[in-house]
Amino acid sequence: MVKFIIKSLLNKAHFLNWNQDDYLKYFLSISNNKNKIKTILAKENTPIFIGDTKIIAQRHHDLKNALEKNWLNYQISYSFKTNYSIIENNYFKNNFWAEVVSAKEYLLAEKNQYKNIIFNGPLKTESSLKQAIKNNSIINLDHESEITKVAKHNNKTKTNFGLRLNIITDQTTQKSRFGFSIENKQAEKALKIAKINNVSISGLHIHLGTNIPNCKKYQQAAKKISDFIVKNKLTKQIRYIDFGGGFVSHANPPNDRLNWNIPDIEEYIQAITTTLKQVFHREKKPILLVEPGRYLVEDAISLFSRIENKKIENQTQLITTDTSINMLPITHYRKHIVQIAKENLNIKTGKKIKTIIYGATCQEDDILFEGYLPKISESDYLIWHATGAYNDSMNSNFIFDKPKTVFI
C-alpha cells in the first residue's frame, strides 16, 4: 500500500512538471509563417484550421529513418479517420498507403487513388470486402464471421488476409474488444477456421490503442506475436506484421493519465524490431507495417478563432469565441494548448490572468479552456495548437458548419 501511494505521488509530481510551453516549438510557428497565415485569414472566415505540411513531412521523415535503420522492409499507412480533410493532399497520396476502417473510408481511399489500402475495423460490409478482394488490398480480419464472409468471395486472389490479434501486456489497463485473443486461444482457432475455409493468412495485425507513451507495451506485444508465430510455425507464411498506431504527438497528455512522457519515434520502432529480429533473422523479413494517425497530423494543424464577447467577473476574463466544443471534441479528452495573437499576429506574452473561454453554442458546458492566459482583447486571435487529430473527423456539425482546413 505504502509503495503504491509513493508511486502515485511520484507519478503526480512528474505530471505536475509538465510544461506545455516547452512543446510550442513542435506546432505551427506563427512568427515564421506570419505572411502566409495573414493571407489565409484575409480570405477566409474564422474558425479555420491552418496546417503546415512541413511538420507532417518532418514526422514522416523521422519515422521513415527509424524504420529504414531498424528493419528496411516497411510501409507506412495513414489512418484515415484521424483527419479526413487531408486525404486529398498530394503529400499523403504520394507517401502513404491508406488505413481504413469502414466501407465509406474504403471508397474514399479508392476515390483518392491511394496505391494500397489496408482494410481494418469491426464492420466491413460484404460489398466492400468484395471490392477489397478484387483490388488485392490488405484485409485484417477482426472476428470469425469475417473469415467466412471473405471465404465466399476469395477465389485465390493475391489478397493478403491478416488476423487482428488481441494482446494483453503488463501495461494493459483495459482489455480490448477487438480481434482474436492470443491468451484464450481464439487466435489459434481462427487460423484453423481460415484453413478450413481456404483463406490463406499472410499477416498479423495489432492496434494497442491511441496515445501510448510506453514503448514496453510494443516490445511485449512484439514478443507475444513472435511466440505465436513460432508456436504455430508461421515464419514462412507471414508476409507482413502490422503494429497499428498509438504513437504520441506533442499535445497535452490525456486527462486520465497520471504519468506522461513523449518517446522518440525510434524508441517505438526499436522496441518492436529488436524483438522481431530474434525470430526473423533470415534475409527475407516480413513487411513491417505501421498505421500512425495522431503522430503524423496532430502537431501540424492549429485552429484559429476570434473573440465574440469578453467580460470580467471576479478578476477572471470570460471570453466567448467563435469556435465550439463540437468543433474541438477533443476538449473532453485533454486540455488545449492556446496562444493569443494580436490582429497583426504578434503573440501576446506577459502576465497571465485567470481565464475561461466559452464556445459559441448555447450549451452551458461549452467550455474550451480554463486556466491562465495573457489579457485578451476583442480584436485578438485565439490559436488552438495540436488540433489536427480527431477534431475535424469527429466534428458533429452541431449548430455551425465545420471549419475548413487550409495548408500554408
Closest distance between ligand PLP and the C-beta of residue 294, in Å? 4
Query: Which of 85, 166, 181, 210 lies at the binding interface for ligand PLP (CB under 6 A)?
Result: 210
Q: Name the minimum Å distance from CB 17 to ligand PLP.
A: 24
Q: What is the 8-class DSSP label of residue 45?
A: P
According to DSSP H, which parts of 215-370 are helical?
215-231, 265-277, 294-297
d(CA 26, CA 312): 33
Is residue 295 involved in binding ligand PLP (CB under 6 A)?
Answer: yes
83 in helix, strand or coil? coil
Place of cell 490559436: 383
CA angle 110, 116, 121 (to 5 degrees): 75
CB closer to ligand PLP, 247 vs 358: 247
Q: Which is nearer to ligand PLP, 270 or 355 (CB)?
A: 270
List 203, 213, 246, 403, residue binding ligand PLP (CB under 6 A): 246
Site pattern 154..193 for ligand PLP (x: CB under 6 A): ----------------------------------------
Q: Between the CA atoms of 13, 14, 15 and 17, what dihedral angle is there, to the nearest 10 degrees?
A: 90
First-residue to last-residue Cα distance in the chain: 53
Question: Is residue 142 involved in binding ligand PLP (CB under 6 A)?
Answer: no
Out of 60, 149, 207, 336, the only residue in the binding site for ligand PLP (CB under 6 A) is 207
Task: Select 121 or 359, whichever has its Cβ closest to ligand PLP.
Answer: 121
| The only residue of 293, 359, 388, 403 in contact with ligand PLP, by rule CB under 6 A | 293
Using the contact rule CB under 6 A, the part of the chain among 9-17, 245-253, 307-315, 363-371 near ligand PLP is 245-253
Instruction: Specify the amino acid at residue 143.
Output: H
Strand partners, 100: 119
* Residue with Cβ nearer ligand PLP (264 or 343): 264
Least spacing, CB of residue 125 vs ligand PLP, in Å: 17
Q: At what angle do helices 126-134 and 103-111 cross, to 10 degrees?
A: 30
Sole window of 88-96, 129-137, 254-262, 286-294 interacting with ligand PLP (rule: CB under 6 A): 286-294
Instruction: Determine how β-strand 117-119 pairs with β-strand 316-321.
Output: unpaired
Provide the residue type at 88 as one letter.
Answer: E
Write out the binding residues for ligand PLP, residues 61-120 only, by CB under 6 A.
79, 82, 99, 120
Phi and psi, residue 107, nearest 5°: -60, -40
**What's the grid cell of residue 398?**
452541431
Residue 152: HSE in the Cβ half-sphere, 13 Å Cα cutoff: 10
10 Å CB burial of residue 310 (0-12, 13-18, 19+) is: middle
**Interface with ligand PLP in residues 379-408 (CB under 6 A):** 389
Which window, 2-10, 196-204, 288-296, 368-376, contacts ligand PLP (CB under 6 A)? Answer: 288-296
Q: Is 51 near ligand PLP (CB under 6 A)?
A: no
Query: Interface with ligand PLP by CB under 6 A: which residues?
Result: 79, 82, 99, 120, 207, 210, 244-247, 291-295, 389
